[in-house]
Structure 1
Amino acid sequence: MNARPVLRRIDMTGQTLNAAFIEEQRQRLLAMQRDVLGSEENTIGAERNDEESTGSEAQEYEDDAQRMEQDIANQALRNMNVQRIADIQRALEKIADGTYGFSDQSGDPIPVERLKALPEAVLTVQEQSARDARH
């Protein structure tokens, strides 16, 4: 009988990422991915319904301005979702290849508390702040 090795990694801060924690994070990431993808589908569906319901009505300049503002807000939400989905998928890849809990950029450990709060974290707080500042 082949016993499956227990996945346990200790990072440089002495934190233990055991198999149960990593599996819990994987399940959370999968649920988050479904939620984010579902909200994106809802946004696209709402836009389509809006276009269909106002297609034959007279156009007002105020309507155009409101629609443009809504389009800008929807695009900003899409951009955030695209990055979040990419981070979720990358975190799932890191779980699969055994590097979950370590920064993609520096290789430094990501604190367990950060991973609990943001299971999709693939960067340290400082690295994430720098990435956010660039975008």
Structure 2
Amino acid sequence: MSDTELDPAFIARQKERLLELRRQLIAVGNAAGRDEQAWQGAAGGEPQDEGDDGDRLAQQANDEAVLAHSEGRLPAIDRALEKIAEGTYGLSDESDEPIPRARLEAVPETIYTIDESEARERNARRGL
């Protein structure tokens, strides 16, 4: 089997991986939101010392990074699941070129080839 051939068993496994990854990212996002609410509730509007503020700000920054990362991956996961339903999983959304199986195993939500992903990242950095 070539690196671009995707059998039905592989696609079924990928669908399960994507669904589990989606559940995990949502759970992590929910936990980060609960952490933020707990910090706010613990502060209770009373003055805190600088150490408490520093801890809270560090935790808040971490929670925001986790949320941003999770929120950034969810649309890609949803698109990959759509592609499975459409029968186009493993084909690039940009060029219709096959995405190598090894890449799909490493990043199941990918919808672009490596070259396309790198070009998109370069363009994003340049603001294009």
Same fold per superposition (TM over 0.5): yes
- Does residue 52 of structure 2 align to residue 63 of structure 1? yes
- 2:67 and 2:119 mapped to 1: Cα distance? 21
Going from structure 1 to structure 2, the CA distance change for 1:130 and 1:68 (only over 3 Å counts) comes to farther
Q: For each residue in 1:36-71, what CA deviation from the matched residue of structure 2 results, as whole angstroms up to 9, or x when unmatched?
A: 101111110111111111214422344334433433
3-state secondary structure, aligned to 2:6: strand
Flag structure 2 segments of 5+ consecutive residues without an equivalent.
none
The residue that corresponds to 1:102 in the other structure is 91
The alpha carbon displacement at 1:83 in A equals 1.5
- 2:8 and 2:57 mapped to 1: Cα distance? 48
Tell which deviates more after alignment, 116-125 or 49-58.
49-58
3-state secondary structure, aligned to 2:97: coil
- The TM-score normalised by the length of structure 2 is 0.83
- 2:56 and 2:92 mapped to 1: Cα distance? 40
The residue that corresponds to 2:101 in the other structure is 112
- 1:98 and 1:88 mapped to 2: Cα distance? 15
Aligned counterpart in structure 1 of residue 29 of structure 2, from 40, 46, 69: 40
The alpha carbon displacement at 1:131 in A equals 3.3
Flag structure 1 segments of 5+ consecutive residues without an equivalent.
1-9
Going from structure 1 to structure 2, the CA distance change for 1:127 and 1:63 (only over 3 Å counts) comes to farther
Q: How many residues align?
A: 124
More helix by share: 2
Q: Percent identity?
A: 37
The residue that corresponds to 1:23 in the other structure is 12
Q: Which amino acid counterpart does residue 118 of structure 1 have in structure 2? A: V
- 1:53 and 1:43 mapped to 2: Cα distance? 15
- 1:87 and 1:118 mapped to 2: Cα distance? 10
- Does residue 74 of structure 2 align to residue 85 of structure 1? yes
Q: Which has the larger radius of gyration?
A: 1
The residue that corresponds to 1:52 in the other structure is 41
3-state secondary structure, aligned to 1:48: helix
